[in-house]
């Protein structure tokens, strides 16, 4: 299938051929994988992560949007996201969320990564805005959803694949995030064929 037609002198076309094909292959792979994930969850709830190729973040995030996904925060200044390392160094879920809320008040929304029901309970008590449930099995995940229903948003991440995402798709999840959209997307195969005029 032809995706584009180029006209020009052979030398510049051949000089830029490999860079153009590499970018087209890479970004088309990201968009295609994102589309496949989006089809399985039936809705605009799929988000990328910051696990992008150095110097290609803007382009890969655009490819995610083209594929039907959404963009998570672009960098660390995007919003407060408290992850496992912060929790270990900062005294746990409750202490970290309380400290972030004290510093930022209501002007920033606070997202916290949790792995179990106890951590989710602490996040709810401390006033987090979004739970990032990481690598929880479906049973634990359902219990967490029951706990926080309507009180905060829930995002799931960690280990989501095309083969297992349907287990979570029917649950009341606000957001799915997957680094695999950008770090594991297979490149699509493109070639440039030159013909003399």
Token digits of residue 42: 């039936």
Instruction: Give me the numbers of helices (H) and strands (E) for the chain, helices first please.
Output: 8, 6
Cα–Cα distance for residue pair 49/52, rounded to 1 Å: 7
What is the DSSP code (8-state) at residue 136? Answer: -
- Whether 83 is a known active-site residue: answer no
Token digits of residue 144: 């967490």
Among 42, 51, 103, 118, which one carries the catalytic annotation? 51
DSSP code per residue over 74-128? SSTTSSEEE-HHHHHHHTSHHHHHHHHHHHHTTSS-EEEEE-SHHHHHHHHHHT-
Cα–Cα distance for residue pair 136/97, rounded to 1 Å: 20
What is the dihedral sign for C-alpha 68, 29, 12, 3? negative
Cα–Cα distance for residue pair 192/197, rounded to 1 Å: 16
**If residue 174 lies in a helix (H) or strand (E), which one and from where to where?**
none
Q: Which residues are catalytic?
A: 51
């Amino acid at each position: 299938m032809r995706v584009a037609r180029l006209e020009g002198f052979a030398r510049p076309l051949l000089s830029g051929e490999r860079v153009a094909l590499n970018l087209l292959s890479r970004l088309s792979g990201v968009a295609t994988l994102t589309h496949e994930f989006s089809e399985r969850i039936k809705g605009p709830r799929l988000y990328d992560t910051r696990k992008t190729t150095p110097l290609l973040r803007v382009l890969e995030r655009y490819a995610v949007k083209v594929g039907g996904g959404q963009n998570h925060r672009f960098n660390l200044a995007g919003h407060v996201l408290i992850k496992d390392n912060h929790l270990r160094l900062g005294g746990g879920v409750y202490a970290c969320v309380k400290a972030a809320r004290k510093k930022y008040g209501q002007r920033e929304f606070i997202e916290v990564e949790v792995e179990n029901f106890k951590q989710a309970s602490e996040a709810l008590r401390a006033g987090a805005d979004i739970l990032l449930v990481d690598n929880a099995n479906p049973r634990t995940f359902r219990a967490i959803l029951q706990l926080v229903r309507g009180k905060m948003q829930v995002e799931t991440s960690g280990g989501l694949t095309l083969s297992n995402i349907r287990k979570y798709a029917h649950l009341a999840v606000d957001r799915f995030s997957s680094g695999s959209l950008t770090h594991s997307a297979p490149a699509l195969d493109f070639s440039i064929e030159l013909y003399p005029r």
